[in-house]
Amino acid sequence: MTHSTDHNQTLFERAKALIPGGVNSPVRAFRAVGGTPRFIARAQGPYMWDADGKKYIDYIGSWGPMILGHGHPAVLEAVQKAALEGFSFGAPTEREVELAEEIIRHVPSMEMIRLVSSGTEAGMSAIRLARGATGRSKIIKFNGCYHGHADSLLVKAGSGLATFGHATSAGVPPEVVQHTLVLEYNDVAQLEEAFALHGKEVACVIMEPIAGNMNFVRASTAFMRRARELCTQNGALLVIDEVMTGFRVALGSAQGLYAQQIPGFKPDLTVLGKVIGGGMPLAAFGGPRAIMEQLAPLGPVYQAGTLSGNPVATACGLATLREIAKPGFYEALATRTRSLVDGLAGAAKAAGVPFCADSQGGMFGFFLLPELPQNYPEVLKTDGAKFNQLFHGLLDGGVYIAPALYEAGFVSSAHSAQDIEDTVALAREVFAKL
C-alpha cells in the first residue's frame, strides 16, 4: 500500500531549512530507516494522524509517557484546570508535594525526591549528587545504555548515537569523560574486575534495569544482585535509571520487580521521567533522606531549574499516576502487551523470519534474531535491512513503531484487542514479503 506523503515532505523541507536535520530529537529524522518523517497533527487514544490525515496505531506513545493513550479524559480535565490557574509561578505549589507523595508511595526506595524537567536533567543531577555524596569522581555505565545527553554520559550510549554509528559525541572533551568507565551490560565478571581495580574511586554505577535504548534487554537477576553487592561493599551508590521503565513496567517500577527476586534490594538513587509527567516535560530523581539532603539548599550539591515542578506538568503527571494506580490496571496492560508480542512472534514464525521478543507491563521489544540478546554487541547482530523493510511495511499499513531498531515499543491501556489483532494481521503480510 502506497500513501502520499506530500504534506509531510513539505513540512520536512521547511523544517530542514530551520532546524538541524529537520527535527528536535535525532531519531525522529528517519535517518536510520530512510524515507520521510511523519509530522503528527493530532492524537487520540492509541492513534495518531499525520499531516496528510493518515491514521496510525501508535506504539511509540511519545517514547513511553502515554501509558493511558492520548487525551485521557481525567488527564485532560486536570491539565485544563491547571492551565486556567497559571502556567508557571517560579514558586512552590501544593501539587508538587502531592506528586512527590504519590511517587514515593509506590517507590519506597525514595524517601525524598526532586522534580526536574527532563530525563537528561534528572540523570545528570543524580550523578552530580552521587559524586558530591561520596566525594569520588569515577562513574560506571554500560555499553548501549542511554542516560540522557549530559557530556559525561555520551560514551557508547546506544540509541540515537548507535543509529548514526557514533560511539560518542563531538563536542565532548576527553577530560570530561575520563572518569566514565564503560562496561558490557550483563557481564558480572567485568563488573567485578572494574571494582577490583577502581572500587574506592567509584562514585556510582548507573544502569537501566531494562535497557530500552538497546530495544529491550533485561538486566539479569545475577547482574543486578552483584551490582548491588559491589556498590555496597565499595561505598559506591547504585543509581537505577527508570526514566523509561518507571511506572511503565509495574506500579512499583522495575526495581520493585527485582526486589521480588533479590531480598532487600533497593537502589541508592532512582531516576524517573516519561510516565510521571504523563506527556508533559517532567522528570525526577530521589533516594534516601541522608543522600538527598546533600542537595542545595540543605547541602553543598547545587541543582536548580526555572520550570522544575511546573504546575501544569505536575497536574498532568498526578492525574496519570492516579489512573494507573487503580486495581487491575497493570494486569490488563501486561496481558494486552503480551498478546502483541506473541502475535508478532507467531506471524514471523509463519513466514520463517528469525524473531524473538520480550515484554514487561506496557513496554516491549523485538529483534530479528533467533534468541534474545543480553548486551549491546549481540543487539547489533540483528538484521538492519530487514528491520527497515518491516518498519516501512507497517508504517504504510498504518502501524507506527519506532523508526530505529534500537528502541523499545510501548502499549497503552487505550489499545484494544482489535488494535492488536489489526497490527498482527498487517505484520503477517509484511513478514511474508521479507
Give the residue-averaged pLDDT of 24-50.
94
Alpha carbon distance 110, 285 (integer Å)? 9
Per the domain annotation, does 419 fall within a domain?
Answer: yes
Query: Is the Cα dihedral 51, 54, 60, 62 positive or negative?
Result: positive
Kindly name the residue from 56, 146, 400, 406 that is annotated as catalytic.
146
Confidence (pLDDT) at 178: 83
Kindly name the residue from 274, 376, 400, 406 that is annotated as catalytic.
274
Q: Which of 21, 29, 20, 2 is nearest to 403 (CA)?
A: 29
* 8 Å CB contact between 41 and 51: yes
CATH number at residue 350: 3.90.1150.10
Number of domains in the chain: 2
Residues 221 and 243 in one domain: yes
> Is residue 333 classed exposed, middle or buried when 0-12, 13-18 and 19+ CB atoms within 10 A define those classes?
buried
Residues 247 and 375 in one domain: no
Tell me the H-state helices in 36-93: 73-85
Confidence (pLDDT) at 329: 98
The mean pLDDT of the chain is 94
Residues 371 and 284 in one domain: no
Tell me the H-state helices in 325-399: 329-351, 376-379, 384-396
Confidence (pLDDT) at 171: 76
* 8 Å CB contact between 123 and 303: no
Which of the two residues, 155 and 434, has the higher pLDDT score?
434
> Is residue 418 classed exposed, middle or buried when 0-12, 13-18 and 19+ CB atoms within 10 A define those classes?
exposed
Q: Decide if 151 is catalytic.
A: no
Per the domain annotation, does 373 fall within a domain?
Answer: yes
Confidence (pLDDT) at 4: 53
Per the domain annotation, does 28 fall within a domain?
Answer: yes
Q: Which three cell numbers mark 237?
A: 551508590
Q: Which three cell numbers mark 234?
A: 565499595
Residues 121 and 59 in one domain: no
Domain end residue (candidates: 324, 343, 361): 324
Three-point CA angle 274, 277, 283, nearest 5°: 65
Give the residue-averaged pLDDT of 19-42.
93
Q: Is it true that the peptide bond before 73 is cis, omega within 30 degrees of 0?
A: no
Residues 230 and 292 in one domain: yes
- Greatest distance between any 2 Cα atoms in the chain: 61
Residues 131 and 146 in one domain: yes
Which of the two residues, 32 and 58, has the higher pLDDT score?
58
Kindly name the residue from 50, 58, 241, 268 that is annotated as catalytic.
241
Domain end residue (candidates: 299, 324, 349): 324
CATH number at residue 232: 3.40.640.10
Residues 136 and 160 in one domain: yes
* 8 Å CB contact between 393 and 428: no
Q: Is residue 1 pLDDT above 70, yes or no?
A: no
pLDDT, tens digit (0-9, with 9 covering 90-100), for 120-129: 999 999 999 9
pLDDT, tens digit (0-9, with 9 covering 90-100), for 281-338: 999 999 999 999 999 999 999 999 999 999 999 999 999 999 999 999 999 999 999 9
Q: Which three cell numbers mark 30?
A: 528517519
**Cα dist. 266→80, 256, 417 in Å?**
37, 8, 36
Q: Decide if 146 is catalytic.
A: yes
Coil vs helix vs strand at 231? helix
**Which residues constitute the domain of residue 393?**
6-71+327-431
Alpha carbon distance 194, 192 (integer Å)? 5
Q: Which three cell numbers mark 387?
A: 528491520
Does this model's pTM top 0.75? My answer is yes
Instruction: State phi, psi for 57 to the nearest 5 degrees.
Output: -80, 125
Per the domain annotation, does 333 fall within a domain?
Answer: yes
Residues 406 and 356 in one domain: yes
Residues 295 and 367 in one domain: no
Per the domain annotation, does 1 fall within a domain?
Answer: no
Residues 274 and 419 in one domain: no
Domain end residue (candidates: 293, 324, 355): 324
pLDDT, tens digit (0-9, with 9 covering 90-100), for 143-197: 989 898 887 787 765 444 443 333 466 777 777 778 889 999 999 999 999 999 9
Confidence (pLDDT) at 168: 63
Residues 107 and 58 in one domain: no
Confidence (pLDDT) at 149: 83
pLDDT, tens digit (0-9, with 9 covering 90-100), for 190-217: 999 999 999 999 999 999 999 999 999 9
> Is residue 359 classed exposed, middle or buried when 0-12, 13-18 and 19+ CB atoms within 10 A define those classes?
buried
pLDDT, tens digit (0-9, with 9 covering 90-100), for 213-236: 999 999 999 999 999 999 999 999
Confidence (pLDDT) at 172: 76
Confidence (pLDDT) at 5: 53
Residues 311 and 184 in one domain: yes
What confidence tier does 260 reach under pLDDT thresholds 50, 70, 90?
very high
Confidence (pLDDT) at 164: 38
Per the domain annotation, does 140 fall within a domain?
Answer: yes
Q: Percentage of residues in the chain with pLDDT exceeding 90?
A: 88
